Amino acid sequence: MSLVRSISISFFMIASISPASAQSLPGGFVYLRDIDPSVIQDIRYATANNFVGRPLAGYGAGECVVKREVGERLKAVQAELAAQNLSLKMFDCYRPARASLDMVKWSQNGRETAAERRYNPRIPKTELFRLGYIASRSQHSTGAALDLTLVDLKADNSGKYDPTKSYADCTAPVEVRAPEGSVDMGTGYDCTDAKGHTAAPSITQEQRAWRRRLVAAMARQGFVNYSKEWWHFSLPGAGGAAYDFPIQPRRN
């Protein structure tokens, strides 16, 4: 969902490609796997494991696509973390503009399901745009914004999301909320709650230490965290126009 500010983007440069030319990424975009295959990927909007409960428009594959400079800097972050038995895990990278419009339609459909409330335990989804929790024009569509977390490679990360289970909401203790195979940052991914703010005072010291560790590692490569989302980072100057080409499977 990404707590991103609504930014003014020139949509006359939105690009698209057909499935037949899926490998022809425009505007200096690359598949992150081609830059660093060691980075773990869990692209949630290509699955039903997200706040909408289905794959979003434009997500034809669970692949992280980014601008090349962004990918190279992520590779440098990953190299630093690897020495500490840690890894990045990508939740979202480039986001087709049509996916943001899909989010707008979702927010206006007049329904609030129990599964949706896991991500928005205290805020009606009709309020998410006004409060800055979703943007109709997302910086993700420029290829310069990312949603990610840390994985402790020494820990047991075998827990998998089970769509048949009823999990506690995203602010609950890690033992009862949906598993994400990553360190405990105090909330789940895409948690639209004050507890998801990077400097939230309501988390434990250990959770705060993990957030600071992630922010520091990303900052050393020039990435800036968005204060309302511990998971959201952007690289100033690496963006530009928004794009709408679909994410297609990467050919080996």
Q: Is 63 in contact with 95 (CB distance < 8 Å)?
A: no
Give yes or no: 80 in active site.
no
- Count of all residues that appear for the chain in the document: 252
Out of 63, 69, 206, 229, the active site residue is: 229
Binding-site residues from annotation for Zn(2+): 140, 147, 232
Residue 161, H or E segment: none
How is 3-59 classified by DSSP, letter by letter? --------GGG-----GGGTT---TTEEEHHHH-TTSEE--GGGSS-SSSSSPPTTB
CA distance 235 to 77: 13
Q: Of 138, 137, 97, 146, which is closest to residue 245 (Cα–Cα)?
A: 97
Binding-site residues from annotation: 140, 147, 232
Tell me which residues are annotated as active site: 229
